[in-house]
Each structure stands twice: as C-alpha cells, then as structure tokens.
C-alpha cells in the first residue's frame, strides 16, 4: 500500500499508531471480528479436531506395529505412557501460550516434548478456537495497551506546566 497525498495535503493509506499483530489463520480479523472471523474459527476448530483424529489413527497404527513386533509389554506400556504424558504436557503448554508469551528458551527446550505430544497441542488449539481465535486475548491486551500508550504520548498538553504546581 503506497501513501498518497490528498488535496488538503494529508497523507492517507498508512494509519498512525500501533498496528494489530496478525494471528495464524485469522490475520487481523480478530480485531473487529469481521471478514469471516466466525467461519474461520469454525474451520480452525474442525480442522484441528480432524488433524487430531487423524494423528490418533496414525498412533494406533504405530501401536499395532509394536504389537505385531511382539517387543514385550513393558516397552509397549512405556510408549503409550510417553505419548499420553507428552500430549498432556503439550496441551497445558499450548493452552498457557494463548494467555501469556512463552519464554523462548523454555520453548526451545520443550520442542521435542511438544513434537511428541502434538495431539495435545491440536486439541488445545481446537478447544480455544471454540471460544476465540487462539491467542486473541493475549494479542488484544497487548494491542489495547499499545493504543493507550500511543494516545498518551501523542496527546497535547494544555496550559503552562510550570504553573501547575503553584496554588495560591
């Protein structure tokens, strides 16, 4: 988008102040809940639920492969428990990431766990999509705070500030 001058000399095209951060699959529709926001939320919820179901089917095939290989009950139980625990931890971590910014160092150290527990992340994404765009609350708080700070910085003072402290 290019800036153009109007007949009065003002620049149009780029609004002044902070801009909302786009969300995956939603762009900036979360700000005003326009341009298909509800349909996108429904699509994201259905898509992440379908992906979780397909992932569970793939995990079932893996479990059947372990049963066919006859590697023993302890190993099979460890694999099932590992996927269950990693999915629960990934669900919790993903849910928390929608309400506060995750620490990048911790995020990097949990990357393997989150990869193994991908089903939990998909389910967290699906459940959050039922109420709002995933991460919308966090982004809305940050955007409103940025707009407030911008408004405070750009408002003009009236009167003489040196006379403010004197009262007679």
Over range 20-37, report the average pLDDT. Answer: 90
* Torsion sign across C-alpha atoms 108, 113, 115, 118: negative
Residue 114 has pLDDT above 70, yes or no: yes
CB 154 within 8 A of CB 18: no
For residue 90, count other CB atoms closer than 10 A to its CB.
23
Beta strand pairing call for 4-5 and 11-12: antiparallel
pLDDT given at position 167: 58
End-to-end CA distance of the chain: 55
Q: What is the DSSP string of 81-134?
A: HHHHHHHHHHHHHHHHHTTSPPPHHHHHHTHHHHHHTHHHHHHHHHHHHHHSST
pLDDT given at position 164: 66
Over range 53-71, report the average pLDDT. Answer: 93
Residue 7 has pLDDT above 70, yes or no: no
Q: Write the DSSP symbol of residue 21.
A: P
Q: Write the DSSP symbol of residue 27.
A: B
pLDDT given at position 134: 92
The 10s digit of each residue's pLDDT in 64-113 is 999 899 888 899 999 999 999 999 999 999 999 999 988 999 999 999 99
Residue 168 has pLDDT above 60, yes or no: no
Query: What's the predicted TM-score (pTM) here?
Result: 0.78
């Amino acid at each position: 988008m290019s800036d153009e001058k109007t007949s009065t000399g003002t620049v149009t095209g780029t609004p002044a102040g902070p801009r909302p951060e786009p969300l995956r699959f939603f762009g900036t529709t979360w700000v005003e809940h326009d341009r298909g926001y509800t349909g996108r939320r429904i699509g994201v919820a259905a898509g992440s639920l379908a992906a979780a179901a397909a992932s569970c089917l793939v995990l079932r095939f893996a479990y059947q492969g372990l049963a066919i290989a006859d590697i023993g009950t302890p190993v099979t139980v460890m694999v099932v428990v590992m996927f269950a625990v990693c999915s629960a931890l990934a669900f919790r971590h993903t849910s928390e990431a929608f309400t506060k910014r995750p620490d990048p160092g911790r995020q990097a150290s949990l990357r393997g766990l989150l990869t193994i527990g991908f089903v939990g992340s998909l389910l967290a994404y699906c459940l959050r999509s039922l109420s709002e765009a995933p991460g919308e609350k966090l982004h809305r708080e940050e955007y409103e705070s940025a707009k407030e700070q911008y408004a405070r910085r750009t408002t003009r003072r009236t009167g003489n500030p040196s006379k403010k402290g004197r009262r007679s």
